[in-house]
Homo-oligomer: A and B are copies of this chain.
Amino acid sequence: MERYDAPFEIKDERFQVTYLIAGDEATARATAEDICVEQSVEFPVELVPAGFIRDMILGRIESFELVEPGTHKAVISYHVDTASEELTQLLNVIFGNISIKPNIKVEKFDLPESLLKHFRGPRFGTEGLRKMLGAESRPLLATALKPMGLSAEILADYAYRFALGGMDIIKDDHGLSNQRFANFEDRVRLCSEAVAKANKITGKNCLYFPNITGPFDQIMERAHTAKRLGAGGLLISPALTGFDTMRAIADHDEIGLPIMSHPAFIGSYVNGMNGISHYALFGQMMRLSGADTCVYPNYGGRFAFSKEECKSIVAGAQVEMGSVKTILPAPGGGMTMERIPDMLETYQQDVIYLIGGGIFKQGPDLTENVRFFKNLLA
């Protein structure tokens, strides 16, 4: 085909993705050129028709520079229409096929208002969630109901005791689904009731976030059930359900609950030379996908994120993204009492302090343990 023109007028509106590319200059430049093709037309470049497709659909290198020896940074732009006004296809353009190629990492992305307008993002965001919790500026505390295997009654008793101590958010452990030893509906009913009962005593608004991560054909029903039974929010692992599943639940006006994202099954994206940066994945993508708060493993815990990587997540959660609200990251994964002073210095009031197993370790009285941790954060 010699030339192809679009049958209607299309303006050249574009969004930008910044990639880090490993390799010497020639290799990295060839990789950048390859990304332009792979992520748009995926077609022999010499056969790409002149006109609309070559001029606008084909990815375009906007800048290319050396970051440090062996690493280059390429800013590549794509036409907003390639993303089809959909989160699934936007993620596909950002990192679809090149997820399979080594030495490419998505550092960040910048979307113009013409694309952002299709994404509502988090319903509550930092401000909305703080308002629900009646805590406009103090550090927030969250914990998890565990271990898997306990009955719904025992988990609800834990929830009651946590809420009584002044916990802000109590989430299900991310492995609690619909197992017969604590099935979804019984667990959500009993835990919601337990937290409501404690809230009456404390006068606070502790929120219970059941885990609704589950089958495609049941997850929306679980969200509705959670809402009906009095849950205060929802926990979702988007790498298991798909990012857009979380987005759809966040967008659902009848559900209207805050959402906490969990990193289960997602770590491989940040663990190698190929992947997505902490900033873009846990900050930008979770946010664009509707999470109001985003769990990630804190530095120095059971996982391997560095302090700089963790701070970049907070930056991604707060960076200006048009009308998409900022969110509260929730560092967890092995937090203990001893870690709090250093964490407070790092994060101040920009995160939700998530302490799971550590709160059980502190001593047999769970309510006292919550008070103890709250005092450390005060």
Q: Known contacts being A41-B146, A271-B274, is A213 close to B89, with CB within 8 Å?
A: yes
**Identical chains bound together, number:** 2
Is there a chain B Cβ closer than 8 Å to A57's Cβ?
yes
Nearest opposing residue in chain B for A269, CB measure? B268
B57, B97, B179, B248: the one contacting A264 at CB < 8 Å is: B97
Given A147-B57, A149-B4, A216-B247, A178:B84 Cβ within 8 A: yes
Within 8 A of B (CB), among A43-60: 43-44, 47-49, 52-53, 56-57
Interface residue count on the A side (C-beta < 8 Å): 94
Tell me if A150 is interfacial: C-beta within 8 Å of chain B.
Answer: yes
Alpha-carbon distance between A243 and B240 when the two chains are bound, in angstroms:
7
B248–A215 CB distance below 8 A: yes
| Residues on B with beta carbons closer than 8 Å to the beta carbon of A146 | 41-43
Chain B residues with Cβ below 8 Å from A99 are: 239, 263-268, 271
Q: Supply 8 A–B pairs (Cβ within 8 Å), ascending by A.
A: A56-B149, A84-B178, A88-B241, A92-B237, A100-B270, A101-B303, A245-B245, A268-B269
User: What 16 new A-B contacts, CB under 8 Å, besides A88-B237, A92-B240, A97-B267?
Assistant: A41-B148, A41-B149, A42-B173, A42-B356, A44-B360, A84-B179, A86-B177, A86-B215, A88-B213, A92-B237, A96-B175, A98-B267, A100-B270, A216-B216, A268-B268, A272-B275
